[in-house]
Each structure stands twice: as structure tokens, then as C-alpha cells.
Chains A and B, each alone.
Chain A
Amino acid sequence: MKILVLAKRVPDTGVPIKIKPDGSGVDLSSIPFVMNPYDEYALEAALRVKEKKENVEVILLSLGNEEYKETLRHGLAMGADRAKLIKYEKPNELDIFQISNLIIEEIKKENPDAIFCGKKAVDDERNYLHIYIATKIQKPFIYGAVNFEVNNSSFKVTKETEKGLFIFEVPFNSFIIFDKCQFEPRYPSLRGIMMAKSKKIDEIIVSNLTDKKIETLRFESPPPRKTGKIINLPFPDNVKELIRLLKEESKVL
């Protein structure tokens, strides 16, 4: 079985972000980057399949510049077999059509059974590329896996809905989109890190992509919130005052 895992490189979520003064982009200098956390769950699930079954190949696919190799190496150190990088200098400037076309082309070349990825990239939050791709290549998909098991002939995928937990039988030939899972992604072992050095990262070079349907104009910082008031009254008057303010001043209760 061949499992293709789509992985993105993103700024670490714990770090403050600044917009460049001219609004042309996010200032990413001196920000540490990591593998998109949701994609890490997808990779972990794929590695669990590999541990449970024979003849499973886990391939990482990413779209980005030279720096993305660091992220792919991290995935290889976790245990993926090989990686592919569609090389484009400014991946965040591409639109949905351009990205999905490039990725679909690689999917066709690799022809994997299953495709795994995270539910969203925590940076650009386009949050729908996977479904766009899954629908276009007509693979059955399931969005929001929170737990995952592999059986003899299918995957068992748990998904959270408004009504509760739904457990689905999902054929191997599917696109599974992972939420934060009930298991944790592994850390690369020392041996894994050593082995990753000799694993292959194929590069597919693309350039001059035109016909952009969605154009980025500018970035903005969120407006600052004005500091509010601390209700400095003894209990329970503070509670009564809070209710009064919510009812009369801000009219939200």
C-alpha cells in the first residue's frame, strides 16, 4: 500500500506575528518553522499503518522552497520512506487552482492508495485545499478524523460531529483529513534522524505560474482592543455589576 501524506511548513503557533509596515506580507524573519501540526497527525497515522501492515510505503509531498526540505527531513526522521518537493519560491502566493493543479499532477504520477493530510494549515488557513483536491480526483474523503485504526481491509476512522462521535469504515483508497487526534505524533528518534539523512527528497521544479484567480492585495493587523474595566467591587456586588453592564451597557445578555 502506498500512502501519500501532504505536509506544509508553517510558523510556530506560539510566536507573535507582525505585519510588515507596508502591509505587503507577514514578517517571517526570525520566526521558527515547524511541520503543520495537523499534518503531523496525518503522518503519525500513516506510520501506524506502516507498523501494522507489510509493504506499506509512506511518501511525503510538499509545495514550497528550499527551506521546506528541513520540514520534510523532520517527517523522514519520524519514519516516512521518501519525500517529494514541488519547488516554488513563494508557495503562499499561489491560489487554489494553481496549488491543486500542481498537487493533483503529482498524485497522478504517484498513484497512491490513500492520501492523508491535516484539516488546515495554521498559517494561511485556506482550510479547504484537501477537499478541493479529493473532490476533483474523485476519491472518497472523510474530514476531521480524531481517531484512526487500520484493519485487514479498511481503515476505521472516528469523526466528531454535533451529534457525537461517528465511526466510519473507510476504504484504503480514500482521502483522510485529520483533526487533532486522540494520539500524539511521535518525536523522531536519534536513529530516525540519522536514517533520514540518506532518504531521498525528489524535487519537481516549477516556475512562471500565471492566470491567478485569487489575488492577495494586502495584509492588516487586527485592530487593538481597548482595555476594559476591572470590576473592583466585593463579592457578590461584582457579579451583579457585571450583569448590569452586560445588559445595559453592551446589551449582549
Chain B
Amino acid sequence: MIGIFLEIKDGKVKKHSLELITFALKNYNSEIFTFALGEDVEKEEVFKHGADYFYLVSPTEKVESEEGIINSLFEFLKEKDLKVLIFPASNTGRIIAAGVSALLNLPLIQDIIEVKEENGEKIFKRPILAGKAYVWEKINSEKYSISLRSNIVNPVENPKNGKFEKIVVKGKDSLKVLEIKEKEEEEIDVSEAEIIVSGGRGVGGPEGFEPLRELAKLIKAAVGASRAAVDAGWIDHSHQVGQTGKTVSPNLYIACGISGALQHLAGMRTSKVIVAINKDPNAPIFQIADYGIVGDLFQIVPALTEEIKKLRT
């Protein structure tokens, strides 16, 4: 059986997690055993995409820390006989994958973007050096875990009459939260977003991100940034795309006022479609963009927002 860890947000299974079910059905001829952590969940989507089993693991005490989640999941998984475990390669998913694999003594490859068969064995591709290169690896073990990047497969419906069960396990957090500074609005994380609107030195200051945020809000995109903008203190590091930030591959990447330093290009070059908006026609970003507009982002970006609004009403 193939085990898949599903992430839940606001009581719903995330799209990235549903992609894993489609991925498993495509690559493994086996029953699909899914599990998630939480109190309550909309389970229909999971069976619609082809899971045979869905277990909702509910800790006795609420766990917030990644360590707490790992221990709760281990409590549940330690007696199960799963051949392969698949995790979403999201911020949290990778951490859970590492901890659970360590406790179950499984070898693990993270951030997989492609799988194929070679000489009767599966081989896995993942990016290294922030996408400047790829490596192919194979696993010499019957049992193993992997984490899979988002937007690698499209979730496909494959309805099954699966079995659902809620399992109560021991739960405990070891770290104490002293203070929480909540964001005014919950932001979409760049590493999971399907669309990213990203700003660089050209935005000129913290307030220069405003038109980007407006566009992002309208098209349900995450706001990204280049290292130059983050180092200048205009936006916090969680938004940074590139070698010392996040490597992303959304369906659409809109680069505004980003010249395209090597580290940045490495981090976003696997995006499906890249749009560049920049004053400088010689900016390296235009060399990898599918569509480019040479112009002032403060004119172009608000106009984009207005035009899209018009089309939608």
C-alpha cells in the first residue's frame, strides 16, 4: 500500500495534496492509503480523487509544532505496513516528511519533480543548486519516502468508495508559544501558489509593492520578491524567490521590475509561463520570459489589474 500525507487548510484538503493521489495512481499499482492530521475535514474530495482509505489522525491535545505533528503521525504510522510514503513538498510537508521518515527509518528524497522507470526501477529527478541543475537518483530500499513538488501533476478525478476513519492518538507539543503576531490578511505562500506576482529593485520601496498586491489579490496570486527587494527591507524574506529564498514553479510568474540576477532566474525558471515587465529592454529577465513588456511597472501593473477587473464583470 502507498501512504499519502494530506495537508488540510480550513477544513479542506489542499490541492497539492490531491495531486499526490493522482501521482500515486499513475506511478504505483497499489491501494492508496491517505492520512491527515486534524479534527474535522471535508472527505469527499479525497475519495473522488481515488483514495481507498482516509484516516484523520486527531491528537488528544492540539499540536501546533512540527515536532508535535511528527510524533502524532508516528504514533499512528508505526504499526502500519506501507511500502512508500508520499508527502507534499510544501514548507510544512518537507519537515513532516523528514521527521516521520527518520522515526520510521526510511530513506527519503525530497522535492521530486519527475519519476520514470529505468531498467525496471523507479528513478527520481529533483532540482539542486536552486534549480541551476537537476539530479537523478534511485533508492536501494523496498520501503522509502518521497516528497513531491506542487503543480507537477494535475489532480484527476477517479471516484472510489473508500473507507474513512478518525483515529485518536496521543499529542504533545514541546515548545511554548510566547506570542503570535498575526498577519492582517493571510497570504498565499509563494512555494504553493499557482500564480506569483513578483517585485524587484524596480518597485523602489515598500509602498511600491502595493500595486503588485492589488493585482495578486485579484488573481489569487502570491506576492514574490527578488533578493534586492528583500535585502533593502521592503518586504520580508518569506516572499523571496531564488537561491537564498524559495524555488518555485507556478503556472504563471509575473516579474515586475526584476532585472533577473542569476540566483533569481534559477529559482523561478521552471515556471510554466513567465511575464516580464521592466523599464530596461536589456534586462536578463527578458531572455527567459515568454511575454515581455518594456515599460514602467507603475503604469503597466495597475492597468493590468483594471483590465482584468473589467473582463470579469
Which positions in A face B, CB cutoff 8 Å? Answer: 11, 13-17, 19, 26, 37-38, 95-97, 100, 122-129, 131-136, 140-144, 146, 156, 160, 162-170, 174, 179-180, 212-222, 225, 227-232, 235-236, 238-240, 242-243, 245-246, 250, 252-253
A131 to B69, CA, bound (A): 13
Is B140 within 8 A of A239, CB to CB?
A: no
In-complex Cβ contact of A243 among B65, B141, B270, B311 (8 A): B311
Residues of A within 8 A of B177 (CB): 166-169
Is B140 within 8 A of A213, CB to CB?
A: yes
In the complex, the 4 A-B pairs of residues with the closest C-beta atoms, listed nearest first: A128-B98, A228-B290, A131-B98, A213-B107
Is B269 within 8 A of A239, CB to CB?
A: no
Is B137 within 8 A of A131, CB to CB?
A: no
In-complex Cβ contact of A220 among B133, B139, B181 (8 A): B133
Main secondary structure of the interface of A (DSSP, over half): mixed
Q: Which B residue's beta carbon lies closest to that of A16?
A: B262
Q: Which of B24-32, B33-41, B154-162, B235-243 contacts A (4 or more CB under 8 A)?
A: B235-243
Is B292 within 8 A of A162, CB to CB?
A: no
A243 to chain B, nearest CB (A): 6
A126 to B129, CA, bound (A): 10
Residues of B within 8 A of A246 (CB): 252, 273, 275, 291
Q: Which of B15-23, B42-50, B53-61, B301-309 contacts A (4 or more CB under 8 A)?
A: B301-309
Interface size, chain B (Cβ < 8 Å): 89
A158 to B236, CA, bound (A): 13
Is A164 within 8 A of B289, CB to CB?
A: no
Is A239 within 8 A of B307, CB to CB?
A: yes
Known interface pairs A13-B244, A166-B180; A19-B133 also in contact (CB < 8 Å): yes
B74 to chain A, nearest CB (A): 9
Residues of B within 8 A of A216 (CB): 135-137
Is B140 within 8 A of A214, CB to CB?
A: yes
Is A239 within 8 A of B300, CB to CB?
A: yes
B223 to chain A, nearest CB (A): 13
A160 to B125, CA, bound (A): 29
Is B182 within 8 A of A163, CB to CB?
A: yes
- The answer, yes or no, to whether B94 is at the interface (CB within 8 Å) is yes
Known interface pairs A162-B186, A216-B135, A246-B275; A230-B107 also in contact (CB < 8 Å): no
Is A143 within 8 A of B66, CB to CB?
A: yes
Q: Which A residue's beta carbon lies closest to that of B275?
A: A242
Q: Show 30 residue pairs from A and B whose CB-CB distance is below 8 angstroms, ordered by the A residue.
A: A122-B129, A123-B128, A124-B128, A125-B110, A125-B111, A125-B128, A127-B94, A128-B97, A131-B98, A140-B175, A160-B237, A162-B91, A165-B180, A166-B179, A167-B180, A168-B177, A213-B139, A213-B144, A216-B136, A219-B135, A220-B134, A225-B290, A227-B288, A230-B293, A230-B294, A238-B300, A242-B293, A243-B308, A243-B311, A252-B251
